[in-house]
């Protein structure tokens, strides 16, 4: 139905002699080149080599850290190695949060150690820590609904569970407990916030991640416990016994630092001043190796441009528009890189913004956010991805987080390739985000998809934007 | 073939009117009662309730710790709750090892944090830690074969891998690297020993476990890194770059403490002075909740006696021999409980020693170590377990570790129920050994097996021993 309606729209548009001066269709040569790119990508293992190198030679790289700077240098060398041009870093100042040592334990009804991780932006406890009775809530909604005084002086615990899902909707439904829980708890007088890790695993490893800061309420220490620890608390809570917890947590907030976006390009030809932007984020949390989040994305988009470059050398066919890769800084805790990019490049016409930041699973669907006249072109891109197992989704898509910031702020159009996230939230924001969780074959499929998207976006006879928001 | 040979042996024995005054066969009533026990056990969930309570209300319980004492009190209350008699603790003095804070990191060629755990019995580093170049060995054999000076002044790293297997043979083949590696490294002048965790998972969680102490060589700090960390080291080693590592580790060894075995019984009738011993170990490592190792075993053997007791109350049929459960202390690091039990009870006739200490998987085979004349009886027990999916293995079996100490020292005969250990070494000796890894249905099957074994061992018309060693 969707397909048919779009064809009718396009036909109507063409028949009307309307906005589109050129036909909203690709020429055969462009489509043949897309197929070539797909085949080249599937024979290549550059993405695997890149994520292997990034995790092995750099490792975790929180924005503004020495490892972040090393990662930026590494990335520029890697991009030059792929034959790309205009390789550069665009630095920006930011304020970062730094984790210190932290520990939590159950004090009553039984002493038991807890495996935990502070949330990004948490304040420290006093040096001796905080000990208090636990106010237990099954989920964020229950805390929000609580108008009583129960949380006051207590450590609020939110037992929010994360459902496994291919498209990440389980995470989407749960993550508010992490992001908004601390503020909701503080608003009710809590002395600290603890929660079940926002994750789908059952490993004794806690998931970190960013929490919101609201300057109108006191800032309280906040941390996640691992899923088995949350299970333990739930069992004891179920026995009707009051829980008492101790937490000691060191952290520094608002530390002045510098991070950067890393850029590289394949210059366009007749439309070189228009940008087709493929992105990922170079920073990671300080736990794990940043393999799935977002080493895989970095590797995928860099390798996709590498395939375009390789094909250009083989065939002499260069893209009409400039294809640019941007590896954003500080996606994890503030989107400083995306905002800096938007400010610097606000006046530049963007044909596409996009981002690979959902782990290392295979692409299974393609959504978009383009002007209606461009839909036949985007459907034609989807048709090229169909042999790779990709379904066409709607024109209400949202790209990865940095790209979404840009799309919303600048109305730059977007294509979103949805990766299979069934296992992503097992390791997301944890020590377990390591190279061994990456499947090289799935990476290759991602590269093939992005190379096709980049090429056809660059060749399109129509602008994709502005994005209908 | 095996089955047929045994039948012939038994027939010959009976025909000869030899050692056996009574026929080596069970009466119908005993077999019917065995079937009743099996059915009662499969309808019961006592084992789940026990392991849930032990992990929830006690948690980790290293021998000689306050939690170990709490566990002993908990166990006695639980055994009384099952209607058992002679419930008691037999205390013994021991020297324990206590873990302190520890951290390791790669210093060169790239700085990367490492997830690690000290091995049991490791000495501490100097307060500032140890930094040294790494001497990398693919396995223990390679270290043993090294007659060069390469390890001297270095941190030896053993990259020993553990293969997944149902019967634990992969662990058996690998664990020497942990147990003997530190001594082999010290003998060659190493300043510390590190190794790939002896485990089959790929979680960023290190596996602890006991290491040998040889007073003829210097004691050096020893620790395991997680499997993904070992992968990282292997990748960097493969690049031909020298590795440099820093480790700082606190620990106390030889601390005087008290632990205990916990015992309970169903008194026998005409052969009450002979003991049928079912066992598990109550202690655990200090990491995890001791759910699979060996909370599951504790729950299984206690619940098996509970089923015997329940059946006795229903039918009035009590066992001929006394059925005793022993929950040993300090299996994990010294077998002090097993040795103390052997010394105290050396003069008592044991019809059987056995132990459940291989996680929470289903029983899939039954081995034995009994005198040849008793083989038809043991085969008859196996026949009762066949409906539970259990195969008969040979008469060269070895029971769990504490029971094996007793079998070897006293020639007490043994039955070994082999559990499916395919996933056991994913969590063995780690923080990940938590209740959620236990399958209640598999526990129930274990209880049914042990109830049948205990009953038929108690009713046997022949002594099972002495064990042929």
Instruction: List average pLDDT for each run of 10 residues in chain A, which is 469 residues long.
Output: 46 44 85 97 96 98 98 98 98 98 98 98 98 98 98 98 97 98 98 98 98 96 98 98 97 97 98 98 98 98 98 97 98 97 98 98 98 98 98 97 98 98 98 98 98 98 96
For Cα atoms A304, A168, A207, give the angle at the middle one, nearest 5 degrees.
Answer: 95
Phi and psi torsions of B29, nearest 5° = -65, -40
As a residue count, chain A comes to 469
Give the mutation candidate from A434, A435, A437 for the B interface (greatest B CB count, under 10 A): A434
Residues of A in contact with B236 (CB under 8 A): 56
Residues 6+ apart with CB under 8 A from A186: A193, A214, A217, A218, A219, A220
Contact B324, B351 (CB under 8 A): no
> Strand, coil or helix: what is A88?
strand
Domain residues of chain B, as ranges? 2-95+256-459, 110-242
CA distance A45 to chain B (A): 17
Give the mutation candidate from B431, B433, B437, B438 for the A interface (greatest A CB count, under 10 A): B431
- Checking DSSP bridges between strand A112-114 and strand A85-108, what pairing results, if any? antiparallel
CATH number attached to the domain at B2-95+256-459: 3.40.630.10
Predicted local confidence at residue B12, as pLDDT: 45
Using the Cβ of B100 and the Cβ atoms of chain A, whether some distance falls under 8 Å is answered with no
The fold adopted by the segment(s) A2-94+256-459 is Aminopeptidase (3.40.630)
Using the Cβ of B56 and the Cβ atoms of chain A, whether some distance falls under 8 Å is answered with yes
Using the Cβ of A190 and the Cβ atoms of chain B, whether some distance falls under 8 Å is answered with no
- Hey, are the CB atoms on A288 and B204 less than 8 Å from each other? yes
- Hey, are the CB atoms on A110 and B59 less than 8 Å from each other? yes
Q: CB-CB: which of B59, B228, B432 is closest to A204?
A: B432
Burial class (CB in 10 A: 0-12, 13-18, 19+), A240: exposed
Q: CA-nearest residue of chain A to B238?
A: A56
For Cα atoms A280, A283, A287, give the angle at the middle one, nearest 5 degrees.
Answer: 125
**H helices within A150-259, ranges in order?**
169-174, 176-187, 227-238
Using the Cβ of B227 and the Cβ atoms of chain A, whether some distance falls under 8 Å is answered with yes
Using the Cβ of A73 and the Cβ atoms of chain B, whether some distance falls under 8 Å is answered with no
Residues of A in contact with B59 (CB under 8 A): 110-113, 232
Q: CA-nearest residue of chain B to A60?
A: B112
Predicted local confidence at residue A21, as pLDDT: 54
Burial class (CB in 10 A: 0-12, 13-18, 19+), A114: buried
Neighbours of B111 (CB within 10 A): 15
Residue A264 host element (H or E): strand A244-266
Contact B270, B336 (CB under 8 A): no
SS3 per residue for chain B = CHHHHHHHHHHHHHHHCCCCCCCCCCCHHHHHHHHHHHHHHHCCCHHHHHHHHHHHHCCCCCCCCHHHHHHHHHHHHHHHHCCCEEEEEEEEEEEEEEEEEEEEEEEECCCEEECEEECECCCCCCCCCEEEEEEEECCHHHHHHCCCCCCCCCEEEECCCCCCCCCCHHHHHHCHHHHHHHHHHHHCCCCEEEEECCCCCCCCCCCCCECCCCCCCCCCCEEEECHHHHHHHHHHHHCCCCCEEEEEEEEEEEEEEEEEEEEEEECCCCEEEEEEEEEEECCCCCCCCCHHHHHHHHHHHHHHHHHHHHHHHHHCCCCCEEEEEEEECCCCCCCHHHHHHHHHCCCCEEEEECCCCCCCCCEEEEEEECCHHHHHHHHHHHHHHHHHCCEECCCCCCCCHHHHHHHHHHCCCEEEEEECCCCHHHHCCCCCCCHHHCCHHHHHHHHHHHHHHHHHHHHCCCCCCCCCC
State mean pLDDT over B431-444.
98
Give the mutation candidate from A58, A103, A204, A436 for the B interface (greatest B CB count, under 10 A): A204
Residues 6+ apart with CB under 8 A from A163: A169, A170, A173, A174, A200
CA distance B286 to chain A (A): 10
Asked if pLDDT for residue B210 goes beyond 60, the answer is yes
Query: pLDDT digits over B315-364, tens only?
Result: 999 999 999 999 999 999 999 999 999 999 999 999 999 999 999 999 99
CA distance A434 to chain B (A): 7
Predicted local confidence at residue A5, as pLDDT: 47
> Strand, coil or helix: what is A271?
strand
- Hey, are the CB atoms on A110 and B58 less than 8 Å from each other? yes
Among residues A246, A432, A424, A291, the alpha carbon closest in space to that of B430 is found at A432
Asked if pLDDT for residue B13 goes beyond 50, the answer is no
Q: How far apart are CA B160 and CA B137, in angstroms?
A: 8
Q: CB-CB: which of A56, A228, A430 is closest to B232?
A: A56
Residues of A in contact with B52 (CB under 8 A): 235
CA distance A129 to chain B (A): 18
Phi-psi region of A64 (alpha: psi -120 to 50; beta: other; left: phi over 0): left
> DSSP label at A386?
G
Per-residue burial over A373-408, b = 16 or more CB atoms within 10 Å of its CB, e = otherwise? bbbbbbbbbbebbeebebebbebebebbbbbbbbbe
Residue with more model confidence, B7 or A322:
A322
Query: pLDDT digits over A437-461, tens only?
Result: 999 999 999 999 999 999 999 999 9
Among residues A439, A406, A434, the alpha carbon closest in space to that of A422 is found at A439
CA distance B37 to chain A (A): 30
- Hey, are the CB atoms on B67 and A205 less than 8 Å from each other? no
- Hey, are the CB atoms on B435 and A59 less than 8 Å from each other? no
Contact A262, A452 (CB under 8 A): no
Which two tokens mark B127?
A: 């307060």
Q: CA-nearest residue of chain B to A67?
A: B111
Q: How far apart are CA B438 and CA B433, in angstroms?
A: 9
State mean pLDDT over B295-305.
98
Q: CA-nearest residue of chain B to A437?
A: B202
Predicted local confidence at residue A145, as pLDDT: 98
Among residues B462, B257, B269, B272, the alpha carbon closest in space to that of B373 is found at B462
For Cα atoms A360, A398, A72, give the angle at the middle one, nearest 5 degrees.
Answer: 50
Query: pLDDT digits over B72-109, tens only?
Result: 999 999 999 999 999 999 999 999 999 999 999 999 99
Residues 6+ apart with CB under 8 A from A160: A138, A139, A140, A174, A177, A178, A181, A195, A196, A198
> DSSP label at A241?
P
CA distance A435 to chain B (A): 8
Residues of A in contact with B432 (CB under 8 A): 203-204, 228
Q: CB-CB: which of A110, A205, A436 is closest to B205?
A: A205
Contact A292, A423 (CB under 8 A): no
Cα dihedral B211, B140, B144, B106 sign: negative
Predicted local confidence at residue A378, as pLDDT: 98
User: Could you check whether B2-95+256-459 and B110-242 share the same CATH topology?
Assistant: no
* Helix, strand, coil % over all residues of chain A, rounded to 5: 40, 25, 35
Using the Cβ of B231 and the Cβ atoms of chain A, whether some distance falls under 8 Å is answered with yes
Predicted local confidence at residue B7, as pLDDT: 47
State mean pLDDT over B282-303.
98
% residues pLDDT > 70 (chain B): 95
CA distance A68 to chain B (A): 12
Using the Cβ of A114 and the Cβ atoms of chain B, whether some distance falls under 8 Å is answered with no
Q: How far apart are CA B140 and CA B146, in angstroms?
A: 10
- Hey, are the CB atoms on A110 and B52 less than 8 Å from each other? no
Predicted local confidence at residue A24, as pLDDT: 85
* β-bridge partners, B340: none
Using the Cβ of A204 and the Cβ atoms of chain B, whether some distance falls under 8 Å is answered with yes
Which two tokens mark A163?
A: 């459902």
Neighbours of B28 (CB within 10 A): 8
Contact B331, B338 (CB under 8 A): yes
Interface subset of A 294-313, CB within 8 angstroms of B: none
Residues 6+ apart with CB under 8 A from A3: A379, A392
Among residues A382, A287, A228, the alpha carbon closest in space to that of B60 is found at A228
Q: How far apart are CA B82 and CA B306, in angstroms?
A: 5
> Strand, coil or helix: what is A55?
helix
- Hey, are the CB atoms on B57 and A110 less than 8 Å from each other? yes
Residues of A in contact with B231 (CB under 8 A): 434-436
For Cα atoms B63, B67, B69, give the angle at the middle one, nearest 5 degrees.
Answer: 70
Q: CA-nearest residue of chain A to B56?
A: A232
Domain A110-242: state its class. alpha beta
Using the Cβ of B4 and the Cβ atoms of chain A, whether some distance falls under 8 Å is answered with no
Residue A401 host element (H or E): helix A401-410
Residues of A in contact with B115 (CB under 8 A): 431
Instruction: Report the complex ipTM.
Output: 0.93
Note if the pTM is more than 0.90: yes
Q: How far apart are CA B467 and CA A223, in angstroms?
A: 55
Using the Cβ of A39 and the Cβ atoms of chain B, whether some distance falls under 8 Å is answered with no
Interface subset of A 422-441, CB within 8 angstroms of B: 430-432, 434-437
Asked if pLDDT for residue B287 goes beyond 50, the answer is yes
* β-bridge partners, B85: B265
Residues of A in contact with B202 (CB under 8 A): 434, 436-437
Asked if pLDDT for residue B16 goes beyond 70, the answer is no
Residues of B in contact with A435 (CB under 8 A): 228, 231-232
CA distance B203 to chain A (A): 6
Residues 6+ apart with CB under 8 A from B257: B63, B64, B65, B93, B94, B95, B96
Among residues A457, A304, A384, the alpha carbon closest in space to that of A31 is found at A384
Q: CA-nearest residue of chain A to B437?
A: A202
SS3 per residue for B275-316 = EEEEEEECCCCCCCCCHHHHHHHHHHHHHHHHHHHHHHHHHC
Alpha-carbon Rg for chain A, nearest whole angstrom, is 24
Q: How far apart are CA B431 and CA A430, in angstroms?
A: 15
As a residue count, chain B comes to 469
**CB-side exposure of A215: number of CA atoms within 13 Å?**
0
CA distance A58 to chain B (A): 7
Phi and psi torsions of A305, nearest 5° = -65, -35
CA distance A406 to chain B (A): 33
Q: CB-CB: which of A60, A113, A231 is closest to B436?
A: A231
The counts of H helices and E strands in chain A are 14, 14
Give the mutation candidate from B203, B229, B231, B250 for the A interface (greatest A CB count, under 10 A): B203
């Amino acid at each position: 139905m969707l397909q048919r309606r779009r064809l009718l729209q396009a036909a109507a548009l063409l028949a009307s002699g309307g906005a589109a001066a050129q036909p909203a269709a690709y020429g055969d040569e462009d489509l043949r080149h897309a197929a070539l790119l797909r085949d080249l990508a599937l024979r290549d293992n550059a993405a695997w080599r890149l994520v292997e190198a990034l995790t092995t030679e750099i490792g975790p790289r929180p924005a503004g850290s020495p490892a972040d700077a090393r990662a930026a240098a590494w990335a520029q060398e890697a991009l030059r190695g792929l034959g790309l041009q205009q390789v550069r870093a665009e630095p920006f100042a930011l304020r970062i949060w730094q984790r210190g040592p932290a520990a939590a334990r159950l004090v009553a009804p039984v002493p038991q150690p807890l495996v935990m991780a502070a949330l990004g932006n948490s304040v420290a406890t006093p040096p001796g820590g905080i000990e208090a009775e636990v106010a237990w809530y099954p989920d964020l909604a229950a805390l929000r609904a609580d108008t009583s005084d129960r949380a006051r002086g207590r450590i609020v615990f939110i037992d929010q569970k994360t459902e496994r899902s291919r498209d990440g909707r389980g995470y989407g439904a749960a993550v508010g407990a992490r992001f908004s829980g601390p503020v909701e708890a503080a608003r009710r007088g809590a002395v600290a916030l603890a929660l079940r890790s926002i994750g789908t695993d059952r490993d004794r490893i806690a998931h970190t991640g960013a929490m919101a800061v609201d300057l109108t309420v006191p800032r309280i220490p906040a941390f996640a416990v691992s899923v088995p620890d949350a299970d333990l608390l739930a069992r004891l809570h179920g026995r009707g016994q009051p829980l008492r917890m101790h937490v000691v947590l060191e952290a520094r907030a608002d530390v002045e630092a510098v991070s950067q976006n890393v850029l590289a390009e394949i210059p366009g030809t007749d439309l070189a001043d228009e940008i087709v932007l493929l992105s990922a984020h170079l920073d990671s949390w300080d736990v794990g190796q940043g393999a799935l989040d977002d080493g895989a994305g970095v590797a995928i988009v860099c390798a996709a441009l590498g395939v375009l470059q390789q094909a250009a050398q083989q065939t002499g066919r260069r893209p009409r528009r400039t294809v640019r890769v941007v590896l954003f800084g500080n996606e994890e805790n503030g989107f400083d890189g995306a905002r800096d990019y938007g400010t610097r490049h606000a006046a530049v016409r963007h044909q596409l913004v996009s981002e690979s930041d959902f782990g290392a699973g295979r692409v299974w669907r393609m959504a978009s956010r383009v002007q209606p006249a461009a839909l036949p072109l985007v459907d034609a891109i989807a048709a090229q991805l169909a042999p790779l197992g990709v379904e066409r989704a709607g024109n209400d898509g949202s790209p990865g987080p940095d790209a979404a910031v840009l799309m919303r702020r600048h109305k730059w159009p977007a294509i979103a390739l949805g990766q299979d996230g069934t296992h992503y939230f097992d390791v997301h924001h944890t020590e377990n985000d390591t190279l061994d969780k990456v499947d090289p074959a799935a990476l290759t499929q991602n590269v093939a998809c992005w190379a096709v998207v980049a090429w056809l976006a660059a060749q399109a006879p129509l602008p994709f934007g502005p994005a209908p928001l």
